[in-house]
Structures are given as C-alpha cells and as structure tokens.
Structure 1
Amino acid sequence: MEAEFPTVSEIAKHDERPRISGFEDLAFGSLAGMAGKFVEYPFDTVKVRLQTSESQVFSGTLDCLKQTWQNEGFRGFYRGLASPLLGAMAENAVAFYAYNRIQSIIRTATNNTGSELTLPQLFLSGGLSGTICAFVISPVELVKCKLQVENVQAYGGAASTANVKFTGPISVVKHLLKTQGIAGIYKGITPTVARETVGVGCWFGAYEVVVRQLMRSQNKAQKSDLGPGSIILAGGCAGVAYNISSYPIDVVKSFIQTADVRATAGAPERPGIASTIRTVYGRGGIRAFYRGLGITLVRAFPANAAMFMTYEYLSRLSIELRQK
C-alpha cells in the first residue's frame, strides 16, 4: 500500500520549506474552527436532537428540521452557539498545535529530522492530539447539548416553554456548579476522550491519506502545490472519516450529557456508560447508535472542508509573507 504514495525520499527532497510557528498553529487553528462551526452548527443541533429524543418526537431528519423551524425559527438552529463557537476555536487551536508538536516528538524519538512521517505515525499523532482536545471540548459540548435539547421538551405541548430553565451558556454553567460542582462540568468526559482519540486520529489520518493520493495523482512535490479543490476534497473526506469512526461513541456521550434535561419520573439523571449503551440499544438496536448520522455526514463535508481550507491557506499566506 505504501508504494501508492510518494516515497519518503521523494518528499524529503522538498521538505526544507519554512514551517509555521506554534503560535500560528494556535491562531490559524482557532480561525479554522470558527469557520467550520458556523457552517456545521445548524446540522449539529438537528443531530443532537435526533440522538437524544424519543423516536416519537421526530420521525426523522426532515421532521426535526420542520419542527425546529416551526417552534423556534432560524434562531433555534443556532441555540447555544456561543459556547461551542469558543470551544471549536479552542479545540482546533489545540488540535493543530498538538498534532504538529507530537509529530516533532515522534521525529526526535525516531531520529527522523527531515522526512514525512508514515501514515501510522500520523494516525497516532492525530489520536494523541484528540485525547488532549477532549479535555478542552468536553465542558463546552456539555453546555451545547443541554441547550440544544432542552427546548425539545416543550414540543407538541409536552411541556411549557416556561419550564425551560437555561437562558444561555452561563446559566448552564452556574446550574452545574451549584448542583454538581466541578465534576458536573466534565460529565461525559470518558466517552468524549474515546470519541476524540478515535475520531481525530481518523480525521488527520484521512486528510493525509487523501492529500498524498492527490499529490501522487497530480504529480505534485508537496502539499502546498495542491489547489483549493484538492484541499476541499481532502478536508471533506477527513470530516466524513471522523464522524463514521466515532459516531456511536458520540451518541452515548450526548445521551449521558443530556440525561438530566430529558429525565422523566424514575429515570436516572446521571446514568453510567454501560446503562446508557443498554438504554440506547433498547430504543432501536444497532440502528439507534446511528440515528442522526445522515444529517451529520451532510454537514461534515462542507464544515471540515472550510476548516482545512482556512488553516491551509492562512499557513501558506504566512510562509509567503515571511519569504518576501
């Protein structure tokens, strides 16, 4: 399989180009995360509501879109955006920074000072960066999921909107600190770590696989020679790979983080992982772990294409300005 990609020696000949600094990794990753979040958030709202609501609430993706629009209008799709927007900026800043720094550590450990890393090493770098990112994104996603799901309880007259207790991210954080302390902010951290380790490893790995294939097919010497169409394709494929690889874990994570919002009489507000898996399975078998995947994949391609395009072209611009 390795023979299908440019060899290490071929790539190494062109590997003396300037690289961006760690600060630029943080800055460009942050802007990339912001761009991607604006694109994906309405789809993410639908995804979380489909993942966590009873099957009789929404008949499917289109019904969820329709009900959200009828009950909350355009703003309903962006409910709770502030927290995940900041989270996406922080997560992607950490992801790109950690990814590149971990690669440097691997190069040092393997005495590889100039050549591109192998694909397994890149997957490992992505996975470890995902583990780090989980501790940044977990509290943000907890707030996001609660805000996205809470309003659904009022749909169809099941409850009054007057019973909605969260007015925004700050009110969620205050409630969690008051009722559960610091531990409440990290509710769902275990499945988040699992999701990010698997997902981000596949995210960066898939991006590198597609990039190397495109370099080979277009006879390009280095990544910066690829045009925007290639970056869009590679970034979009990375997003699809992330979601397909980690989606069942994400369902469990979302379910745990919204348990108290959805709680009915006699239902636990703090379910464990094993009990959550059983509950989700009881709602529809294996299919229940993939409920909402369609809308997720629809938003994954453009959102992640936007992220990688933003990061890649800001990096190229920085290098070009430095060389002048």
Structure 2
Amino acid sequence: MEAEFQTVSEIAQHSSARPKASGAEDLAFGSLAGMMGKCVEYPFDTVKVRLQTSETQVFSGTVDCLRQTWRNEGFRGFYRGLTSPLVGAMAENAIAFYAYNRIQGAIRSITAVPSDAALSLPQLFLSGGLSGTICAFVISPVELVKCKLQVENVQGYAGAANPGAVKFKGPLSVVAHLLKTQGIVGMYKGIAPTVARETLGVGFWFGAYELVCRQLVRASQSSSTPLHSKADLGPASIILAGGCAGIAYNLTSYPIDVVKSYIQTADVRSPASERPGIAGTIRIIYGRGGVPAFYRGLGITLLRAFPANAAMFMTYEYLTRLSAELRKK
C-alpha cells in the first residue's frame, strides 16, 4: 500500500497534530466547550443523580423519573441547580484542556520527545489522568451544590412529604448553609471519590478521544484522499471521537460516581441518619441491589454522554482551528 505514512508508528506520530493553542486559548476555548456540553447534558444529569441517590420506591426507573419530574416540576425541574454546574463545567473544562496540554509538554521534556511528535497513548492517558486530578478540586464543591439541589425535593415523590418541597432557594443558599454548619471542609464532602472518578475518567476521556482520532487517520490511508493529522478530520469524525470519549469516561468511572453522589446527598435525603464513609456507602449501595445498584442511571448517562461530549470536543477543536487560521492572516 502506498500512502504518505507507511507504518502504524508514523501514522501515530502525525495523527495527533493539531494547531497549537496558547494557554489563554486553552482556557477560553475549554470554557466555551464546557458550557456547550453542560447545556446539552444537564437534563440527563438531573435524572441520573436522582436515580443514583433515591430509594427504589421513589422511581421505578428512568422513564418513571422523567415522568414524575415533569409532572411535579415541569421543564424547569430538569434544569434545577444549573447555575452552579454551568460555571463549574466552564472552569473544569478550561482547566482540563489547559492542564492536559501543559502536562504533555512536561512529559515531552522529561522523555525527550520532540515537540512536533505525538506522545504515545499511555502518555496521553497519563496526561489526561493528571489533568483530571487537578480538575477534581475545582469541580467537587460545584457538584456538591448541584447534587443537593437536584435531589432535595424528590423524596416527597414517594408520599413521605409534599412533592416539590424545597429547603434551598438556589446555589448560594446551599453554599451559605454548608459554610455556616460545616465550614469550608463541608464544601469538599465527597472529594476522595471525586478525585478517583476524575483521575480515572478523564484519563480515559482524553485517551479514548486520541485513540479514535488516530484510528480514523489510519483508516484514511487506504482511501484516495488520506488524512495527514487530526487537524484534517471533519465534523463527523470529531463528533464520533468526542462521543466515544464521553462513553469511555462514564463506563470506566460510573460506579465511583454513584458512591460520590450518595455521599454528597446523604444529609439532604435523610437528615437524621448517620453519615457513612466510603466503605459504609459502598455496603449500603450494594445492599440496595447488589452490583447493578452501582450502575443505576447508567443508561440515561450514556444517552447524554455522546452528544454532550461531541459538542465539547467540536467546540474546542474548531475554535482552535479558527484561531490558527486567523493567526496566519
């Protein structure tokens, strides 16, 4: 086969090339990408968190959760608590892309990989995982607030209280309550599982995206118009790679996310009950339904993961390309 790149290693070396963004552009483009993704995924996320944390008698499944949320709260119910995670998603993705690219630079320096050569997939997974660790400390307080707002009124759906009754007026109300009752430490409840989820999940997020992009570039070598790098991939390819990245993130980190959500909403769901740690929470969740209990809500999560993450990577990639074109003029 005659192609510009004759070996798999040569294809991998060039397939990850993209117009290089500055640190400021990574922050700006990552922020806009996070905003786009969050707007797409948030209604699905609300249903996911409610399924993860509610007792089985509240919702029989995804469809029942959708029906009851609509009946009790209407369209706004699916976007309850959006403000905090929207800001958080913008900050998280800005830091994720910034850290991801800066960590790659550090790995190149340590391993003497030339700046015009792509890193290996394990190195990209490592870059993604370390960027996820950093992001966890930004996103944990935001998710704490979000989860409390998403689930505080749903226990009444089962008839124990008035459906729709709420304790918090909004994100600032949650923050004020936590600071008053628990101090700054209270804002980081659930930080351990959040770090574990983000380190693992973001590693697979970036890693899967880069892997799919490389495979698409490699597959094009047998066509009449072979691609030279990731920068040559069209919208359909970016959508596919971004969607696969979202699926990979959730499939690998979902059980950890269930534990995290359960810990962060314990005081809202059962104000008078004891607050178990990670091991106790795992035992409680397992007792509610065995291993499947750690995957409750996964279906709707995967349903939203593909379009939301496709939107994020599309936004970031094309803003980066546009910026590179403008610099040439």
Q: Which TM-score bucket, shorter chain as reference?
A: over 0.9
Letter paired with 2:137 = F
How far did 1:161 drift? 5.5
The answer to whether residue 291 in structure 2 is matched with residue 291 in structure 1 is no
Equivalent position to 2:313, from 308, 315, 318: 308
Q: Which runs of 5+ in 1 are unaligned?
A: none
Residue in 1 that maps onto 2:251:
244
Residue in 1 that maps onto 2:88:
87
How far did 1:58 drift? 0.4
- Equivalent residues in 2 for 1:13-32, closer than 5 Å: 18-32=19-33
Whether the 8 Å CA contact 2:240–2:310 is kept in 1: the answer is yes
Letter paired with 1:297 = L
Whether the 8 Å CA contact 1:11–1:221 is kept in 2: the answer is no
SS in structure 1 at match of 2:21: coil
Whether the 8 Å CA contact 1:6–1:212 is kept in 2: the answer is no
Whether the 8 Å CA contact 2:51–2:296 is kept in 1: the answer is yes
Residue in 2 that maps onto 1:226:
233
Using the size of structure 2 for normalisation, the TM-score is 0.93
How far did 1:12 drift? 5.1
Residue in 2 that maps onto 1:318:
323
1:178-216 CA-partner distances (Å, limit 9, x unpaired)? 000000000000000000000000000000110000011
Letter paired with 2:132 = G
How far did 1:7 drift? 4.2
Letter paired with 1:251 = V
Residue in 2 that maps onto 1:177:
179
How far did 1:153 drift? 2.2
Cα distance change of structure 1 residues 245 and 18 upon mapping to structure 2, 3 Å threshold: closer
Equivalent position to 2:148, from 146, 152, 165: 146
Whether the 8 Å CA contact 1:5–1:213 is kept in 2: the answer is no
Cα distance change of structure 1 residues 197 and 14 upon mapping to structure 2, 3 Å threshold: closer
Cα distance change of structure 1 residues 105 and 147 upon mapping to structure 2, 3 Å threshold: same
How far did 1:120 drift? 0.3
Residue in 1 that maps onto 2:214:
212
1:265-296 CA-partner distances (Å, limit 9, x unpaired)? 4x21x320000000000000000000000000
Cα distance change of structure 1 residues 178 and 13 upon mapping to structure 2, 3 Å threshold: closer
How far did 1:156 drift? 3.9
Rounded Cα–Cα distance in structure 1 between residues aligned with 2:139 and 2:231: 30
- Equivalent residues in 2 for 1:113-152, closer than 5 Å: 113=114, 114-152=116-154
Residue in 1 that maps onto 2:40:
39
Rounded Cα–Cα distance in structure 1 between residues aligned with 2:142 and 2:6: 38
Using the size of structure 1 for normalisation, the TM-score is 0.95
SS in structure 2 at match of 1:151: coil
Residue in 1 that maps onto 2:65:
64
Letter paired with 2:145 = V
How far did 1:17 drift? 6.8
Residue in 2 that maps onto 1:108:
109
Rounded Cα–Cα distance in structure 1 between residues aligned with 2:229 and 2:125: 19
SS in structure 1 at match of 2:172: helix
Cα distance change of structure 1 residues 90 and 61 upon mapping to structure 2, 3 Å threshold: same
Cα distance change of structure 1 residues 260 and 116 upon mapping to structure 2, 3 Å threshold: same
Segment of structure 1 superposing worse, 108-117 or 306-315: 108-117
Rounded Cα–Cα distance in structure 1 between residues aligned with 2:58 and 2:14: 58
The answer to whether residue 250 in structure 2 is matched with residue 256 in structure 1 is no
Whether the 8 Å CA contact 1:5–1:216 is kept in 2: the answer is no
Cα distance change of structure 1 residues 254 and 18 upon mapping to structure 2, 3 Å threshold: closer
Cα distance change of structure 1 residues 224 and 323 upon mapping to structure 2, 3 Å threshold: same
How far did 1:6 drift? 6.1
Write out the 4+ residue segments of structure 1 that deviate beyond 6 Å after TM superposition.
13-17
Please provide the CA RMSD for this pair. Answer: 1.8
Rounded Cα–Cα distance in structure 2 between residues aligned with 1:15 and 1:204: 12
Rounded Cα–Cα distance in structure 2 between residues aligned with 1:43 and 1:302: 11
Letter paired with 1:133 = C
Rounded Cα–Cα distance in structure 1 between residues aligned with 2:15 and 2:311: 26
Whether the 8 Å CA contact 1:9–1:115 is kept in 2: the answer is no
Whether the 8 Å CA contact 2:16–2:210 is kept in 1: the answer is no
Give % identity: 76
Rounded Cα–Cα distance in structure 1 between residues aligned with 2:256 and 2:62: 20
